[in-house]
Structures are given as C-alpha cells and as structure tokens.
C-alpha cells in the first residue's frame, strides 16, 4: 500500500529559524545560551538598540494554518493505546499518530500493527 498523503500541504514559512540567544552569553561561559528576557534599566537589548541581538516577540509567530504542522503536512496526535487510534479514522488525511513515550514495547507493537491495518 502506498504511503498516506495529507489532504492539502501548504508551504510552511518560518519567520525565523535561528535560536534567540541570551544577552552576553557569547562573552561569558557561566551565562548559558538559553533565552532570558533582559530586565536591566540600562540594557541595550531591552531598549532595542541597533546592532544588538533580537528579542522574541509576537511577530515571529507561525501562520495559523501551518502552526504545529510537520514537514510532511500532517499534524501530530498523541496516542497512548490502541483504542485512541480509532479517533484518527475520520481525520487520517490531516493528522498522524505519535505514540507517547511512556507506552511499553508490547503495547507499542500493537499500536503500530493496528495503525497499519487502519492506514493511519
């Protein structure tokens, strides 16, 4: 059987793919790269001076239609057991199943088997 394709696959546009880094994290080893919002009264990044690193804001958000969409065009649906696969029968053209991390190997095998039967 051929691989399932999504109903429609719009072009996913990311407004920014580079990570936002913490101010002066490149200068000191003790300051980690993970983003922290600068709150200092004299901070250049907070005051948005030219030539400084960018702060994350609402404008970098994804398009509503393509948000949480995988490159294949599907959206993920978390599955914990075989019974939850039945929910995806009606919308298997837009959603794909993702098995939860805490599912045992035995149940995982059963879920994969049933998903192949249902073409999910």
Q: Taking the chain (120 residues) in consecutive chunks of 10 residues, what is each chunk's mean pLDDT?
A: 74 90 97 97 97 95 92 94 92 92 96 92
Angstrom distance (rounded) from CA 29 to CA 37: 18
* Full domain range(s) for residue 35: 18-61
DSSP state of 8: -
Phi, psi of 72 (to 5 degrees): -75, -15
48 and 83 within one domain: no
Angstrom distance (rounded) from CA 98 to CA 76: 6
54 and 27 within one domain: yes
Q: What is the pTM of this model?
A: 0.73
Q: Is residue 93 part of a domain?
A: yes
Q: Is residue 114 part of a domain?
A: yes
Q: How many domains does the chain have?
A: 2
pLDDT score of 19:
95
112 and 85 within one domain: yes
């Amino acid at each position: 059987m051929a691989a399932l394709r999504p109903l429609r696959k719009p072009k996913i546009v990311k407004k920014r793919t580079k990570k936002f880094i913490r101010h002066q994290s490149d200068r000191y080893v003790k300051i980690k790269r993970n983003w922290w919002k600068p709150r200092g009264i004299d901070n250049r990044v907070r005051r948005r001076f030219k030539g400084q690193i960018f702060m994350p804001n609402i404008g970098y958000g994804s398009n509503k239609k393509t948000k949480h969409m995988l490159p294949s065009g599907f959206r993920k649906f978390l599955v914990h057991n075989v019974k939850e696969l039945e929910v995806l029968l009606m919308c298997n053209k837009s959603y794909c199943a993702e098995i939860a991390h805490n599912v045992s190997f035995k149940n995982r095998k059963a879920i994969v088997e049933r998903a192949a039967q249902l073409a999910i």
